[in-house]
């Protein structure tokens, strides 16, 4: 009998333990009245960009509030929490919060200054509102150094050809994720990037666009139209390789201004390979000038290059704005680049031009250079025209360009009745696609740990107060950074910086800094073989045909003309546009 009171007391104590241990929003289940506080705000970095996944902890009168569900900031950096207390608890109380996230400085015991009571309901519950915006600064943690080392290591491995570029990027991505989930599990300072953020960093719009256009090009190639175009191009040049190379560069630039530069190269590379094989010259002497021209042409319009699409969307710039401000300088850069490459390859072109032009003309008139399937060519022409229209109209339709390409590829696969398995196995440049995916992860790791943001902060500090310095710093830093770092995440980081400078720097309100960013990010990608997506695709397709282009070879050929185009852009911006 004596055991029953003891047992009863033990049960009562157990029932009250949760209430003793837990204090705050979701722990009080008794009937009211309550003090209900809704606190919200936004957490940003110094550039004003929202910081997601920040962990928030609340304290009332120096006592931690235990919550059933953790509160974190959303993708745009906003947060909101509803805290519930016994009635009268908030009167005269001090509310504070802590913010933490890997690679950022921890903010502790930040007092919420203004708490206002909004209303009291019929049950006696009092409702309060509070708002607290916060700015998180970067912290240089071990994760920062690891991400920087991995990014640098990947580029070194590629530059000196210690391993295939796809393997180098694959290894870098694997190291970043491995460290995040091993050392990062023991110490948050080693967290570089989560798996979810890594997969989100892979730009599927780029991957699907590349894959779909590879499929379309492989089907179009079966019609023989590329061989026919090769013969027509040679006939127009009358056997002069200098004229032929100039013609190909000009055509490539024009097409790239209407399509994206990657799609343009996917269409032009097969033609170039056929011409080079017939002329018995190294296709590289034509391909590098073409991809250079492709990136120049893509700079001239809103839809020609991904950085321009991002800039136009962020700054509300139209297709006509880009053409008006950039088309002429891009034309000047194209003409100068044509002259440069004609001089650079003069020996290769001269030797080829010395060949028997008449014999080559007869060679191009053979059945190998005639249309093989006119019906399929008509289908391809209609579908390609539809795809191009969708590319041009994708902004109005709010449709990613990859959807246009995927639709065209799907239709061509159906009407052509080609073996899709064989097409996927033999016509898709899987090493190139995997390289892009892994490189996106490596660059995202550098962005998550603050490496790219440090560059942006430096630009912000250097360019304050002077429009000339602002233009030159943004142009040249964007160009040099885009030569070694994918210009898409770099452009995304620079957008709020340029927006801020456009507002505060005298003379920048006309938008000149946006054109500096566009010219630097797009033209700077010409500097190395990994600076732009079109470069990587071109190198990959050339490699598949047996023509290897090393990192250093590409750098030696293209870096100097890239610098020349940036110098021309500097003159254009400072003399013409200011």
The pLDDT tens digits for 448-482 are 898 877 766 777 778 777 889 989 999 998 999 88
Q: Is the pLDDT of residue 346 over 80?
A: yes
Residue 522: name the closest of 555, 475, 558, 556 by CA.
475
Please say whether the beta carbons of 255 and 297 come within 8 A: yes
CA–CA separation, 110 and 262 (whole Å):
49
Q: Per the domain annotation, does 91 fall within a domain?
A: yes
Tell me the C-alpha distance between 357 and 368, whole Å. 18
Same domain membership, residue 208 and residue 126: no
- My answer on whether 210 and 122 are in the same domain is no
Write the DSSP string, 275-341.
HHHHHTS-THHHHHHHHHHHHHHHHTSTTSSHHHHHHHHHHT--HHHHHHHHHHHHHHHHHHHHHHH
Residue tagged 């107060």 (tokens): 465
The whole-number average pLDDT for the span 164-175 is: 92
| Contacts by 8-13, CB closer than 8 A, 24 or more apart | none
Structure tokens at 537: 């695709």
pLDDT of residue 3: 54
How large is the average pLDDT for residues 333-340?
Answer: 96
pLDDT confidence of residue 175: 97
pTM over 0.85: no
Total tally of structural domains belonging to the chain: 2
Query: Cα separation of 476 and 455, whole Å?
Result: 12
pLDDT per position as a tens digit, 69-102: 889 999 999 999 988 888 878 777 888 889 999 8
> How confident is the model at residue 489, as a pLDDT?
66
- Domain-embedded: residue 157: no
Report residue 129: phi and psi, to 5°.
-125, 145
**Last residue in a domain, options 88, 113, 135:** 135
pLDDT at 6: 56
Mean pLDDT of the region 146-172: 88
Nearest to 394 by CA among 319, 334, 341: 319
Q: Are residues 108 and 218 in the same domain?
A: no
Q: What is the pLDDT of residues 227-272, one digit of tens each?
A: 787 777 777 877 688 888 898 899 889 888 877 788 788 888 888 8
Please indicate, yes or no, if residue 335 is contained in any of the structural domains: yes
Three-point CA angle 564, 570, 573, nearest 5°: 140
Q: Over the stretch 21-37, which tens digit does the pLDDT of each residue have?
A: 444 444 444 466 888 88
CATH of the domain at 66: 2.60.130.10
pLDDT value at position 160? 76
Which of the two residues, 508 and 44, has the higher pLDDT score? 44
Q: What is the chain's length?
A: 578
Per residue in 539-568, pLDDT tens? 888 888 888 888 889 999 999 999 999 999
Mean pLDDT of the chain: 84
What pLDDT band is residue 572 in, cutting at 50, 70 and 90? very high
pLDDT at 199 over 80: yes
Q: Dump pLDDT digits (tens) for 416-440.
A: 888 889 888 888 889 888 988 998 8
What pLDDT is recorded for position 22?
Answer: 42
Residue 9 lies inside a defined structural domain of this protein:
no
| 114 within domain boundaries | yes
Top-confidence residue, 244 or 121: 244
Across the range 111-115, mean pLDDT stands at: 82
Give the domain-ending residue among 120, 135, 150: 135
pLDDT of residue 356 exceeding 60: no
Phi, psi of 381 (to 5 degrees): -65, -45
The span from the CA of 191 to the CA of 182, in Å, is: 9
- Per the DSSP assignment, residues forming a β-bridge with 526 are none
Question: Do 98 and 221 fall into the same domain?
Answer: no
Query: pLDDT value at position 357?
Result: 59
Q: Are 135 and 45 in contact (CB under 8 A)?
A: yes
- State the residue range of the domain holding 34: 14-135
Among 181, 106, 182, 178, CA closest to 141: 106
Q: What is the reported pLDDT for 368?
A: 67
Residue 263 shares a structural domain with residue 366? yes
Whether residue 517 contacts residue 491, with contact meaning beta carbons closer than 8 Å, is answered with yes
Return the structure tokens found at 477.
């830093």
pLDDT bracket for residue 299 (50, 70, 90): very high
**What pLDDT is recorded for position 17?**
47
pLDDT of residue 363: 67
Q: What is the pLDDT of residue 401?
A: 80
Is 166 inside any structural domain? no
DSSP 189: G
Q: Are residues 427 and 544 in the same domain?
A: yes
End-of-domain residue from the set 118, 135, 152: 135
| Predicted pLDDT at 564 | 96
pLDDT at 10: 53
């Amino acid at each position: 009998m004596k055991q029953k009171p003891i047992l009863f007391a033990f049960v009562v104590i157990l029932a009250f333990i949760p209430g003793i241990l837990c204090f705050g929003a979701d722990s009080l289940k008794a009937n009211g009245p309550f003090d209900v506080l809704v606190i919200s705000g936004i957490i940003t970095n110094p550039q004003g960009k929202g910081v997601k996944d920040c962990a928030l902890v609340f304290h009332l009168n120096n006592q931690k509030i235990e919550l059933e569900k953790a509160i974190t900031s959303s993708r745009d950096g906003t947060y909101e929490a509803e805290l519930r207390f016994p009635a009268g608890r908030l009167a005269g109380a001090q509310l504070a919060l802590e913010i933490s996230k890997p690679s950022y400085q921890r903010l502790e015991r930040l007092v919420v200054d203004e708490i206002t009571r909004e209303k009291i309901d019929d049950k006696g519950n009092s409702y309060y509102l509070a708002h607290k915006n916060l700015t998180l600064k970067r912290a240089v943690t071990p994760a920062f150094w690891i991400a920087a080392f991995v990014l640098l290591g990947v580029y070194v491995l590629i530059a000196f050809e210690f391993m295939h570029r796809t393997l180098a990027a694959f290894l870098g991505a694997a190291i970043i994720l491995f460290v995040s989930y091993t050392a990062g599990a023991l110490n948050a300072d080693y967290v570089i990037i989560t798996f979810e953020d890594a997969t989100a960093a892979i730009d599927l719009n780029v991957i699907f666009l590349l894959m779909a256009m590879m499929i379309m090009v492989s089907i179009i190639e079966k019609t023989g139209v590329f061989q026919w175009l090769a013969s027509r191009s040679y006939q127009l040049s009358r056997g002069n390789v200098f004229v032929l190379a100039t013609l190909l560069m000009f055509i490539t630039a024009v097409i790239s201004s209407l399509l994206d530069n990657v799609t343009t190269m996917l269409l032009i590379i097969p033609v170039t390979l056929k011409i080079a094989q017939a002329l018995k010259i190294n296709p590289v002497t034509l391909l590098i000038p073409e991809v250079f021209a492709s990136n120049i042409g893509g700079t001239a319009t809103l839809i020609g290059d991904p950085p321009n699409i991002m800039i136009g969307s962020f700054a509300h710039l139209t297709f006509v704005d880009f053409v008006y401000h950039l088309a002429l300088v891009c034309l000047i850069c194209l003409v100068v680049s044509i002259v440069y490459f004609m001089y650079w390859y003069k020996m290769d072109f001269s030797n080829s031009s010395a060949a028997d032009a008449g014999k080559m003309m007869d060679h191009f008139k053979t059945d190998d250079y005639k249309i093989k399937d006119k019906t399929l060519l008509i289908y391809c022409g209609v579908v390609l025209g539809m795809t191009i229209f969708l590319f041009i109209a994708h902004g109005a339709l709010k449709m990613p360009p990859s959807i246009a390409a995927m639709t065209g590829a799907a239709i061509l696969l159906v009407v052509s009745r080609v073996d899709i398995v064989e097409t996927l196995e033999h016509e898709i440049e899987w090493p190139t696609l995997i390289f892009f995916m892994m490189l996106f992860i490596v660059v995202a790791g550098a962005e998550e740990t603050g490496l790219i943001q440090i560059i942006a902060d430096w630009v912000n500090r250097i360019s304050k107060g002077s429009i000339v310095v602002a233009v030159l710093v943004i142009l040249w830093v964007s160009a040099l950074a885009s030569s070694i770092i994918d210009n898409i995440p770099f452009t995304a980081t620079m957008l709020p910086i340029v927006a801020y400078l456009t507002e505060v720097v005298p003379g920048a309100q006309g938008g000149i800094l946006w054109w500096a960013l566009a010219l630097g990010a797009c033209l700077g990608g010409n500097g190395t073989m990994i600076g732009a997506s079109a470069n990587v695709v071109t190198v990959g397709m050339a490699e598949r045909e047996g023509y290897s282009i090393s990192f250093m070879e590409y750098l030696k050929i293209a870096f100097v003309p890239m610098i020349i185009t940036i110098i021309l852009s500097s003159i254009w911006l400072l003399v013409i546009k200011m």
